[in-house]
Structure 1
Amino acid sequence: MSAGSFSTEAAKFSFSPILNKTFGFLTNRDTRELLMKWSMNGRITAQAFRYDECFQPYQKNDFVWAFFQDPDVLSHLKIVSENSGQWVTLGTKVKKVDVQEILCSQLSMSLFDCLYSEGIVRESGHICKCLDEYLDDFTISDELRKVLLLDDCEKHDVFSQSDREQFLFLLFKHLCLGGAICQFEDTIGPYLETTKSIYKDLLSVQKDPETKQIRIISTVFKVSAYDENGMCYPSGRPHQQTFAYLIVDPLKRHVYVLYHCFGGGAF
């Protein structure tokens, strides 16, 4: 089954929720206060499921299809209701899935050193301001958001295309852009620290027995699902800040779901 296609195949994987799993970035008081400031609190969550069969990345389409067919997933997978803004479970019969494998190889935060060297962030950590510009739901009032949002920005190329496709970069961008009534930071530190915290919380690493080098063993997928009425997950209203990632740990046979729905966060 290819990504985005319909299927009548029997699911090859079974899943069950890990109800006692906690994620540090959701329980840490300082991080929650930042998520509240960025209008993401109450609209972002992480969940854990275990699965029963050996997984290889080439099986991604079958794996994600099985995930969205599993009754235990459908009855536990959280989404923000478009009508009430409250947390509900997916519950609907999924007819189609889209799966995109996300690059995930960064083992340090050095990817963001260019923000300092290219004058986007001052040595003090303060983000350089600019005249306000507007793009869709975003107000661009500093050089950081220009680099993140504007393809024709003078400094757009400080991040290569492959940099921008890394899970670490995507997390950072999501946090910087925030929710509907985001209060932006004046300094880069909170964005970098929170990105690092979430990244470490979700990924598993292992030392290569031959090279002795640490490597990431988790596989990351960006996913969406469709029912008979159209897209139903992560939301029926597409937005670049509405996202769902599945992070698969092949050793523990765990899959973590990172979900956010764009809107006004809880205070």
Structure 2
Amino acid sequence: MAKPTASVRELIRAQYADLTQTERKFAQALLDNYPVAGLASITIVAQNAGVSTPTVARMVQKLGFKGYPQFHQALREELEAKVSGPTQRRENWASDAPEGHMLNRFAGAVTQNLSQTFSNLDADAFDAAVRQLADTNGRLYVVGGRITRALADYAFTHFQAVRQRVTHMTSSSATWPHYVLDMVQGDTLLMFDVRRYETNLQRLAELARERGVHVILITDQWSSPIAAAADQTFNCWVEIPSAWDSNISTMMLLEAMIAATQEESWDETKARYDRLDDLFDLTRLFRKF
């Protein structure tokens, strides 16, 4: 039996309907503390989930693994990938990098990332997030981390034109309490967080959720811990032949969200665009031909 190429989380989601009640109990225990809950021995894992060891063994095989050791190793590899830094990432791909020019290898990786990202998108979750992003009854807050703040800035620039009441939170967590102070139920917080996940962003998500704020998370394929506090989580595949992860699939998803939000409230958005162009003309920001 070949080793599955999808993550254990994805395999559980794909096979969930075929699991028995006790197998679902173990699956849920694993997803609630993923992937740590599956990193102990089969006996301890079963005890922690309140199921028998044969239940765990049967579910593991339903997911496509030969046995528990293979399942355990898959979770370990996912965890190692999740926490790896730039040096380790480069070693991971450089050790078995295919021959050929970097441009070809890079293009292949990016194409695969885009395909994986969009084939795993939940259309209903996407539509629900877009409706929330377009709802001007609440304020939209946007924030990113050390690397993803560039995505947050891009999102803010576009959403500020698409709709009113948009706030770009600074990258300094010391200023965040001032923003949280004004957050109320019905507001939306769009967050970006990729490995290595930032603890201050997770705490911000928890504080916002406590205030009834709708949290939308864009993260990588391993999922930021913020997912536990998010209303919608979107996973983007990011690995490339580099010491750094790629933001190409993340940016593609973000641009799809911006376009869909624009269409959700086009009449109001068009009026904003027209007024904005008038202001650009008055300030002579752009060259006229």
Same fold (TM over 0.5): no
The answer to which structure has the higher strand fraction is 1
Instruction: Write 1 or 2 for the structure with the bigger share of helix.
Output: 2
Specify the structure having the higher radius of gyration (Cα): 2
TM-score (normalizing by structure 1): 0.29
Structure with larger RCO (C-alpha < 8 A, sep 6+): 1
